[in-house]
Structures are given as C-alpha cells and as structure tokens.
Amino acid sequence: MEHRKLALVTGGAQGIGYACGEALKEDGFDVILSDVNAEGVADAAKRLGAVAGLVCDVADAEAVGAMFDRIEAEHGPVTALVNCAGIAMPGDFLSYDLDAFDKVIAVNLRGSFVALQRAARTMVEHGIEGAIVNMSSINAQVAIPAIPAYCASKGGVLQLTRAAALALAPHGIRVNAVGPGSIDTAMMAGINADPEALARVMSRTPLKRIGTPREIGDVVAFLCSGKASYITGETIYVDGGRLPLNYTV
C-alpha cells in the first residue's frame, strides 16, 4: 500500500526545526510542525503552508502519544520523523541544578526516544519503510563545561540513533542523526552580538562563518529521501570543519 509522504518535525516553530520543514516540503512531503510554543507553531505552520501546527511538549510522553494518535486519525501515518525539539539551559558546572539537568535530558533525549518509538511502532504496523532523523550536535563529540546536560543528552542521542537503527533495520526503517556546529539561531544570538565571542567561534571554524538553519534542513531532507536509502545509524556533522580541527592559531 502506498502511503502519503507525511513528515512530522518537532521543535518546528523556528530555527533549525522550521528550516527542516521547509526543506522537506520542497522535497514533496506534507509537513506537520509541532512545538511547545503554541503561538509560534501556529504562525510557523501558516507561513510554511504546513498540514498542521500542533502544540506538544515532547517531555510529556502522554502528550506525544496523543499527538501521534491525532495525526494518524486526521492525516494518516507519519512516514518521516525529525526529532528537533531541544533546549540547552547553561550553568556553572559545580553548582549545576539537578532539575535543569533532568529537564534537558527529558526534552532532548527522553523526548526523542518517546517520539521515535511511537513513530516506529506505526511504521512497522503499516509496513512503512520510513526515515527518522534525530538532532544531535557536535557536542556529542566535544564538550562545553557550561552545558553539561546538553552535552550528555546529545551524546545519548548519538547512541540512541545507533540502537534504533539496528532495531529497525529489519523493518526497512532508517534512523540517522545530524550534528550541527555553530548555526545562526536564537541560541547564537548572544554570541553574534559579542565580537570577542564570535571571534572565538570563528577561530575553531575552518570555513570561517556561521552555518544557516537551512544548511541543516537540507541534510535532514537528504536523510529522509531515497538518495540516502543505504544510510542508517549514522550521524552527519554539519559544522564548517570544526570536529576535524586539531588546533587553532
């Protein structure tokens, strides 16, 4: 049975999530955006011409399940999932708040697992050889002391991607991740406004510029497409060359 090309992007109200929605729509997917920001996701869905803009906190497993139930009842099964919802919550390492740590893990890692598992169950049930893309980070490989929970969550996303890819390969479902470097989003606004901070970022970025959200979206769309049909369990780092860099001068 042929299924409608339907993509769900969590964290889709702005930034990288919205750019993923744009790229997928251009690739022929009907796109549903979800986000915890009700006003933001409604506006984003309207601008994109999305099928729907849904409010969902991915840290709430019941809410994630209800969202998938609604999508399947109203639009059919999701054939591509992009887990883009994420938060950072920086703080001093020695005094880092445990509630903040738990919240970051709940959104970035647990939330990704819950949505991935729920999407995969329906794909398996309907015989859909779908694609799932998780949003990792270069901080799955390198660390920043002020964001310990974020680093831990993104390292977890890397391994979750691998485990899910192995579990779902027999069903023809591919699971990959994208690891952005320094991208021009709201998280970068403070750095962009500080010449010294921006100079530090440029010193560790061989391509000598900040990436754009759409440059992440295009890689996500590729991983959801038939052009990536033999790729699973991988994390593609889109970082301007930062990870291979040995030293700065």
Burial class (CB in 10 A: 0-12, 13-18, 19+), 91: middle
Q: What values do phi and psi take at 235, rounded to 5?
A: -115, 120
Report d(CA 145, CA 157) in Å as an integer: 19
Q: What residue type is assigned to position 242 of the chain?
A: R
Angle between helices 15-26 and 213-223 (to 10 degrees): 50
Q: Which two tokens stand for residue 52?
A: 């729907």
Which of 150, 230, 237, 247 is catalytic? The answer is: 150
Classify 127 as helix, strand or coil. coil
Task: From 179, 211, 103, 85, select the one nearest 148 (Cα to Cα).
Answer: 103
CB 204 within 8 A of CB 248: yes
Report d(CA 65, CA 48) in Å as an integer: 24
150 counts as catalytic: yes
Residues with active-site annotation: 150
